[in-house]
Amino acid sequence: MYIYRKRGIVGPNWKTPFIGPFLESVNPDFEKYYAKWTSGPLSCVSVFHKFVVIASTRDYARKIFNAPAYVKPCVVDIAYKLLRPQNWVFLDGKAHVDYRKGLNGLFTRQALESYLPGQEEVFDHYFDAFIQTSKKNGMKPVPWMPDFRELLCAVSCRTFVGHYMTEAAVKKIADDFYLITAALELVNFPIIIPFTRTWYGKKAADMVLDEFAKCSAKSKVRMAAGGEPNCILDRWVVQMIASEKYRERLAAGVAPEDAGKPDIVLREFTDFEISMTLLTFLFASQDATSSACTWMFQIMADRPEFLDKIREEQLAVRDGDRNARMTLDMLDKMTYTRAIVKETLRYRPPVIMVPYMVKKDFKLSEDYTVPKGSMVIPTTYMALHDPEAYPNPESFDPDRWITGDAEKQTKNWLVFGTGPHYCLGQQYAQLNLMALIGKASLEVDWKHEITPLSEKIKVFATIFPQVRTVPFLA
Ligand code: HEM
């Protein structure tokens, strides 16, 4: 069967019965992925019962991302149990498009601006905490990944649910979130057995769902009383309330043109539905932003000349007042900081592969049709390291976004995917990374000892430096 499906594309000539290369995939190795991508534009492998086609060129990757009639995002079986089968991310076709439209209002410019004060508060809190940690440690190097993951989790929670969640709950979610990531890795046993990774992951996901549902109930009360919306949850609830009022006016016989139709008319969502959606936001953001942030801070420590330029720009956009609070206008003016964020995302893209499931036989090339039921995985990394689009792609060069033509390479910019499932949080994620490094450049200093492994890639859902002790923040 494997040989039949493989036909002419590159891949092993045989597979271990049943499990395929499961054992090597448990500890995925970037060099092996890279070897697979460079082995041919299409290559294959078989894991458990799944036949997997890997697409490495930009054009194949785009063709897959943009073929919703043939493919849908593929998640490991366990994801249905963790995120719940009725979760919106599992919707397909029109149902997915419609649900997504209802979420767009949560990421408009105006919405993003209203989340900034909350984010800045979290940055202030954590930068102070980092300085205390460094002082307590006598300014000796400390592994900082756990602290940074906590910061990013706290920023996400503040943006998603404002002050409805206690600090203790944020800390617990940050501590336990890697259990969810580990359970949802591409290769895992597909059933939940007590005390295994998937079992711990399910428990953590249940806890997060419960916390978000409690926040939703609180937001509904506060927004109904006319409170000011300052997080994603509040904005969603406000839209629901406005939609309900509109429906009531229509039902009372008010003419549609006088009934005050909101931009987006939403149905009523239960606390649990809202909490499932917020969990998908957290799931989508936590690892990807942790990855981007880790690389960005490390790369800036190793190339202080770039960090100096960020500092200069940050002071300039604040008219010399380092305590000025952040606005969207300021972020718009941060040309250099934006270039650093974009180059970090290009150079070390957090999401290197996006698995899709083939719904019906999919003719990917003249010679090859991916059989229905296979998994097909477009790679973002190769498009982002394509020397034709980004000359000298292995060099970290922010200027390519300012004086070069990197900005014009929109077809290669696959950091956030493309097509109907492109990242919903892409603007938010980039602004958040700019705000974070910008503020950090003014308030803290940090150092990193360069080693031969510093920029080598370790894969754990997303990608991280192989040595994750970026010493120290002061
Ligand atoms: C640097 C950070 C991030 C990166 C690199 C990233 C990357 C991606 C990628 C590659 C996809 C798949 C796109 C596709 O299949 O075409 C995706 C989907 C998604 N992302 Fe992000 N993401 C990031 C941050 C975020 C944040 C902060 C949020 C939420 C606030 C978010 C929400 C989502 C959602 C909801 C989806 C699924 C969309 C759908 O299926 O319709 N992401 N992201």
CB 174: neighbour CB atoms within 10 A?
21
| 423 pocket-lining for ligand 1 (C-beta < 6 Å) | yes
Residue 254 C-alpha to ligand 1 middle, in angstroms? Answer: 40
Q: Is the pLDDT of residue 380 over 70?
A: yes
User: Residue 45's closest CA among 374, 329, 289?
Assistant: 374
- To test the pocket of ligand 1, the residue of 416, 433, 434, 464 to mutate (highest count of ligand atoms within 8 Å of its CB) is 416
State yes or no: pLDDT of 186 exceeds 60.
no
Give the closest residue (by CA) to ligand 1 atom 38.
421
**Spatial separation of the C-alpha atoms in residues 297 and 449, rounded to whole Å:** 12
Going from the Cα of 231 to the center of ligand 1, the distance in angstroms, rounded, reads: 19
Tell me the H-state helices in 303-394. Answer: 304-317, 328-333, 335-347, 381-384
Residue 129 has pLDDT above 50, yes or no: yes
Q: Which atom of ligand 1 is nearest to the CA of 430?
A: 1
Considering only CA atoms, which residue is closest to atom 12 of ligand 1? 417
- Diameter of the chain measured on Cα atoms: 72
Contacts of 279 (CB under 8 A, 6+ apart): 83, 87, 205, 208, 209, 212
**Average of pLDDT values for 256-268?**
91
Domain ranges of the chain: 75-321+420-465
CA of residue 282 to ligand 1 center, whole Å:
10
Atom in ligand 1 nearest the alpha carbon of residue 414: 10
Q: What is the pLDDT of residue 16?
A: 46
Paired tokens of 394: 């292995």
State the pairing for strand pair 375-378/50-55: parallel
Report the C-alpha gap between 330 and 88 in whole angstroms: 34
Report the b/e string of 200-237 with b at 16+ CB within 10 A. Answer: bbbebbebbbebbbbbbebbbebbeeeeebbbbbbbbb
Measured from the CB, is residue 68 less than 6 Å from ligand 1? no
Q: Would you put residue 373 in left (φ > 0), alpha (ψ -120 to 50) or beta? A: left
**Would you say residue 23 has pLDDT above 50?**
no
Distance CA 32, CA 458 (A): 11
231 is in an annotated binding site: no
The set of long-range contacts for 457-461, using a CB threshold of 8 Å and a minimum separation of 24, is 457/30, 457/348, 458/30, 459/28, 459/29, 459/30, 459/33, 459/352, 460/181, 460/185, 460/287, 461/181, 461/184, 461/185, 461/287
Relative to beta strand 71-73, strand 369-370 is unpaired
Question: What six digits make up the tokens of 436?
Answer: 């974070």
Contact (CB, 8 A) for 201 and 188: no
Instruction: Give the count of alpha carbons within 13 A of 301, CB side only.
Output: 23
Tokens found for residue 125: 């809190």
Q: Which residue's CA is minimally distant from atom 40 of ligand 1?
A: 421
Does the CB atom of residue 285 touch ligand 1 within 6 A? Answer: yes
Asked if the model's pLDDT at residue 419 lies above 90, the reply is yes
User: Average pLDDT, stretch 439-447?
Assistant: 92
Comparing 112-116, 186-190, 331-335, the range with the smallest average pLDDT is: 186-190
> How many Å is the Cα radius of gyration of the chain?
23
**Nearest CA residue ID for atom 7, ligand 1:** 416
User: Across 37-159, where does the E strand assignment appear?
Assistant: 42-47, 50-55, 71-73
Report CA(28)–ligand 1 centroid distance (Å). Answer: 22
* pLDDT class of 19 with cuts at 50, 70, 90: very low
Q: Check if 293 has its Cβ closer than 6 Å to any atom of ligand 1.
A: no
User: What's the Cα-to-Cα distance from 281 to each of 83, 108, 400, rounded to whole Å?
Assistant: 11, 16, 31
Q: How far is the CA of 474 from the centre of ligand 1 (A)?
A: 32
The separation between CA 439 and the C-alpha centre of its own chain, rounded to angstroms, equals 21
d(CA 474, CA 461): 29
Q: Return all residues near 105 (Cβ < 8 A) that are at least 6 apart.
A: 111, 235, 239, 263, 264
Please compute the mean of the pLDDT values over residues 136-163 and round it to a whole number. Answer: 88
Q: Are 332 and 431 in contact (CB under 8 A)?
A: no
- Kindly indicate the confidence band of residue 20, based on its pLDDT and cuts at 50, 70 and 90: very low
Task: Give me the pLDDT at residue 352, please.
Answer: 96
Q: Is the pLDDT of residue 17 over 60?
A: no
What's the pLDDT score for residue 66?
Answer: 98
Sorted by sequence, the CB contacts under 8 Å of residue 333 that are 6+ apart come out as 317
The single-letter DSSP state of residue 353 is B
CATH 2.40.70.10 corresponds to the domain 75-321+420-465: no
DSSP, collapsed to helix, strand or coil, labels residue 357 as: strand
**CA-CA distance, 227 to 248, in Å (whole number)?**
21
Continuous H helices in 225-253: 232-251
**CA-103 nearest atom, ligand 1:** 35
Distance of CA 284 from the midpoint of ligand 1 (Å): 5
